[in-house]
Amino acid sequence: MSPAPEHNSVKVVVCGAAGGIGQPLSLLLKQSDLISHLALFDVVNAAGVAADLSHINTKSKVTGHGRESMDEALQGAHTVVIPAGVPRKPGMTRDDLFKINAGIIRDLAEGVAKNCPDAFVLVISNPVNSTVPIVAEVLKKHGIFNPKKVFGISTLDVVRSSRFVSEVIPSVDPKSTRVTVVGGHSGVTIVPILSQIPGHASLTQEQIDALTHRIQYGGDEVVKAKDGAGSATLSMAFAGARFTNVILEATVAGKAGLVESTYVNLAADSSASTQAFREKTQLDYFALDVEFGREGVSKIHALPKVSAYEQTLLDAAIPELKANIEKGASFITAA
């Protein structure tokens, strides 16, 4: 019998690791054999979370880093996952978080530029539509932006879509049915392409409306139920770990053909079709199905065929997304 293939393993940093998302996300990442060093950075309690996780009997070493040792946390990182910042309270939109989170993300991106300029950067902190352009503009300022390596994690929209659809179409297995969700990651910018799901024909327009609204505003259900104690953390940690694992499987283990929807800079794929889409929408960032390879993005899939209803959703998403992108980018370029 041939020996099991040897994989490399790499350093992954979680920024905001002691938070509501950061802790369960770090727990899930501790289970990855593709991680040799899990570095946990937070301005509070990173040492405690790291000590706790470090007792779990998997391969990776775990280290905790406070405010004074951000550089040490980031040095030599292969992948940096960012759930740092403040979450929503009832009545807040993701855009309301911009004032606080924009500065946090800018400073972390500066840390990436200084300590791990080749790293994959996976942004969870909201508003994702704007925080990803912030990261990109900081990296551009340093001349090191690689659009194949910077992502907004919109996987929770995909996870919610699979689950919510399975509650309406009983033949849909929530685990194996992946719904393509395009656009951005907030309210009307979230556009689930339900017309591509097997069994879609059985849905009434009323059901499609209700499902679409629930996917777009699923986060509000959690914010309301937590009643001031934050937003989605456990389902987000699950989604964040799923996306991070896809990146590691593709880039470290060399697994081909992995696809996830993610919010990405459209310069990551120079193909005529992606560039025509960019030209048509006049948007630099958009969530689409992305295929990953060793270097990150290997291909951005074209927007699937959409129904007339989905086209109206896209028409509503595009101006909002454009404003969100400009707000993020100008936070750096106009500073």
> How far is C-alpha 130 from the chain's CA centre?
12
Find the catalytic residue in 185, 200, 213, 301.
Answer: 185
The residue (of 45 and 177) whose beta carbon lies closer to ligand NAI is 45
Query: What count of other Cβ atoms lies within 10 Å of the Cβ of residue 327?
Result: 17
Cα–Cα distance for residue pair 335/332, rounded to 1 Å? 5
Does the active-site annotation cover 301? no
Alpha-carbon distances of 66 from 18, 43, 48, 100, rounded to whole Å: 10, 5, 11, 19
Give the shortest CB-49-to-ligand NAI separation in angstroms: 9
Q: Site residues (CB under 6 A) for ligand NAI?
A: 15-16, 18-22, 41-44, 83-88, 97, 101, 104, 107, 124-126, 128, 153, 156, 185, 230-233, 236
> How far is C-alpha 295 from the chain's CA centre?
17
The conformation of residue 175, written as its DSSP 8-state character, comes to: T
* Chain residue whose CB lies nearest ligand NAI: 19
The residue (of 85 and 328) whose beta carbon lies closer to ligand NAI is 85
The residue (of 39 and 165) whose beta carbon lies closer to ligand NAI is 39
Give the shortest CB-57-to-ligand NAI separation in angstroms: 26
The residue (of 97 and 267) whose beta carbon lies closer to ligand NAI is 97
Give the shortest CB-17-to-ligand NAI separation in angstroms: 7
The conformation of residue 174, written as its DSSP 8-state character, comes to: T
Report strand pairing: 259-265 vs 285-293.
antiparallel
The full length of the chain comes to 335
Which residues define the annotated binding site for NAD(+)? 16-22, 42, 101, 124-126, 236
- In this structure, is the dihedral angle defined by the CA atoms of residues 246, 247, 252 and 256, taken in order, positive or negative? positive
To the nearest 10°, the Cα dihedral for 205, 290, 120, 109?
-50
Which residues define the annotated binding site? 16-22, 42, 88, 94, 101, 124-126, 160, 236
Q: Which H or E element spans position 312?
A: helix 308-333
- The residue assigned the tokens 């978080």 is 97
The residue among 159, 186, 189 whose CA lies nearest residue 175 is 159
DSSP three-state, residue 177: coil
The residue (of 40 and 203) whose beta carbon lies closer to ligand NAI is 40
The conformation of residue 44, written as its DSSP 8-state character, comes to: S
Helices (H), 116-151: 128-141
DSSP three-state, residue 31: coil
The residue (of 105 and 203) whose beta carbon lies closer to ligand NAI is 105
Cα–Cα distance for residue pair 128/123, rounded to 1 Å? 7
Active site positions, annotated: 185
